[in-house]
């Protein structure tokens, strides 16, 4: 066996932060060996979102999440919970009352009862939680994304969701999670949001930086600036959904005209190693780095971000072999003495 294969990603980063990935029922079967060897933290890709947990009001379906919870615990992995309050994967009925839109009070009551049931069921089973996900607008105009939550409750829906989460999950670290954190105007909006929350005494412990990065629009200087800015607020930081796209976001609807070139792979490697390096240097505030998927055979990018195109954005390849850049990341960690 290659000597570098001896040390896993999580072992190599033991003194810096946890390393993990999002899991689904399918991936824990397919990627069992990789997960067991390399990861010491996890998050459910979809199973803990509102729709999968409560598809109809008062009807709870915990089975998929339970399986992931058990798997994480059996394998001594810390578990993050992810994304009840999001603009996606929440059943339309949540926002309705008979044929009419639900009132502010009614929707807040629903957040309360969903959160209560979630926390009672998973009590003691997860240590951090992305309570609100992707609330910031990507486009010119308002800071907050248009969503049913915003429309029916108002901008304080975010604060309300965290107060409710704290009430039912007093021992869990509460995170706000968002993407395009390396784009300066988006970062400013994210900073403004969480600073405001902290000023208002909203119970927020950490910032989830998704790190859906790409080789065209992301660079390491901006990434470091982002980590630095959130660290300065006194928040814990998790890199929550890392993948490195060889295409720009603007390319998302276009089919690939050519396969991923060697040059693109090199840029992917630079971003991967560079972001891990930034996280090591900020390891006093960065507690976990997770990728969005275990291996390239199951990345969401190929499935739905731009279906039919191969993105190869993860740490393990289509055949579930470790990639060169992953071995480099392990070596970088072993050599690091900053
Ligand atoms: C994605 C999942 O990977 C898909 O399977 C699902 O269909 C949609 O959601 N940001 C997030 C994640 O916070 O929850 C998203 O996950 C990817 C983008």
**Nearest atom in ligand 1 to 300's CA:** 3
CATH superfamily of domain region 9-335: Glycosidases (3.20.20.80)
**Mean of pLDDT values over 297-318:** 91
Q: Which of 45, 54, 181, 241 is catalytic?
A: 241
Specify the pLDDT at position 308.
79
Q: What is the DSSP letter of 100?
A: E
Q: For the segment 155-193, what is each residue's pLDDT rounded down to a tens digit?
A: 999 999 999 999 999 999 999 999 999 999 999 999 999
Q: Nearest C-alpha to atom 6 of ligand 1 is from which residue?
A: 46
Active-site residue 269, yes or no?
Answer: no
Q: How confident is the model at residue 309 (pLDDT cuts 50, 70, 90)?
A: confident
φ/ψ region of 58 (left if φ > 0, alpha if ψ in -120 to 50, else beta) reads left
C-alpha distances out from residue 114 to 86, 95, 311, Å: 14, 13, 36
Q: Nearest C-alpha to atom 9 of ligand 1 is from which residue?
A: 46
Spell out which residues line ligand 1, taking CB within 6 angstroms: 45-46, 83, 133, 210, 241, 300, 304
Q: Give residue 1 CA to ligand 1 midpoint distance, Å.
A: 36
**Mean of pLDDT values over 45-69:** 98
Give me the percent of the chain exceeding a pLDDT of 70.
Answer: 97
Q: Give residue 28 CA to ligand 1 midpoint distance, Å.
A: 17
Residue among 84, 241, 298 whose CB has most ligand 1 atoms within 8 A, to mutate: 241
| Residues 81 and 131: beta-carbon distance below 8 Å | no
- Residue 26 confidence (pLDDT) above 80: yes
Q: How confident is the model at residue 1 (pLDDT cuts 50, 70, 90)?
A: very low
Residue among 129, 291, 304, 313 whose CB has most ligand 1 atoms within 8 A, to mutate: 304
Rounded-to-integer distance, Cα 192 and Cα 204, Å: 14
**Nearest atom in ligand 1 to 24's CA:** 5
Q: Which of 134, 181, 224, 269 is catalytic?
A: 134
Query: For all residues of the chain together, what is the average pLDDT?
Result: 96
- Residue 328 confidence (pLDDT) above 80: yes
Top-ranked range on mean pLDDT: pick from 97-111, 247-261, 293-307: 97-111
Q: Give residue 89 CA to ligand 1 midpoint distance, Å.
A: 9
Q: How confident is the model at residue 257 (pLDDT cuts 50, 70, 90)?
A: low
- Residue 337 confidence (pLDDT) above 90: no
Q: Which of 121-125, 178-182, 282-286, 334-338 has the lowest mean pLDDT?
A: 334-338
Active-site residue 217, yes or no?
Answer: no
Q: Give residue 82 CA to ligand 1 midpoint distance, Å.
A: 10
Specify the pLDDT at position 5.
54
Q: Give residue 335 CA to ligand 1 midpoint distance, Å.
A: 34
Tokens at 97, concatenated: 């009352």
In the block, which residue shows the tokens 């992953």? Answer: 326
Q: Which of 200-209, 244-253, 312-321 has the lowest mean pLDDT?
A: 244-253
User: How open is the CA angle 8-178-158, to the nearest 5 degrees?
Assistant: 130
Buried b vs exposed e over 265-304: b needs ≥16 C-beta within 10 Å? Answer: bebbbebbbbbbbbbbebbebbbbbbbbbbbbbbbbbbee
């Amino acid at each position: 066996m290659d000597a570098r294969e001896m040390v896993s990603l999580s072992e190599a980063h033991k003194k810096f932060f946890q390393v993990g990935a999002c899991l689904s029922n399918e991936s824990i079967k397919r990627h069992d060996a990789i997960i067991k060897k390399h990861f010491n933290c996890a998050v459910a890709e979809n199973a803990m979102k509102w729709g999968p947990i409560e598809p109809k009001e008062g009807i709870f379906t915990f089975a998929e999440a339970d399986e992931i919870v058990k798997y994480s615990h059996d394998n001594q992995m810390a578990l993050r919970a992810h994304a009840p309050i999001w603009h996606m994967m929440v059943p339309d009925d949540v926002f309705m009352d008979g044929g009419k839109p639900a009132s502010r009070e009614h929707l807040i009551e629903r957040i309360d009862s969903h959160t209560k049931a979630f926390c009672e069921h998973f009590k003691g089973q997860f240590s951090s939680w992305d309570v609100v996900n992707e609330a910031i607008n990507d486009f010119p105009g308002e800071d907050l994304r248009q969503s049913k939550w915003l429309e029916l409750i108002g901008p304080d829906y975010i604060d309300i969701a965290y107060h409710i989460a704290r009430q039912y999950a007093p021992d869990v670290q509460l995170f706000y999670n968002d993407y395009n954190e390396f784009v300066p105007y988006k970062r400013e909006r994210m900073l403004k949001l969480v600073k405001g929350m902290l000023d208002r005494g909203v119970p927020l412990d950490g910032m989830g930086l998704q790190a859906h990065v790409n080789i065209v629009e992301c660079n390491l200087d901006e990434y470091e600036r982002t980590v630095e800015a959130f660290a300065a607020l006194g928040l814990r930081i998790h890199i929550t959904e890392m993948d490195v796209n060889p295409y720009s976001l603007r390319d998302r609807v276009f089919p690939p005209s050519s396969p991923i070139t060697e040059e693109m792979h090199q840029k992917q490697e630079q971003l991967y190693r560079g972001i891990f390096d930034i996280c090591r240097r900020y390891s006093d505030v960065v507690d976990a780095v997770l990728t969005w998927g275990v291996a390239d055979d199951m990345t969401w990018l190929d499935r739905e971000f731009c279906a039919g195109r191969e993105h190869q954005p993860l740490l393990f390849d289509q055949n579930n072999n470790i990639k060169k850049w992953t071995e480099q990341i392990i070596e970088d960690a072993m050599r690091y003495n900053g």
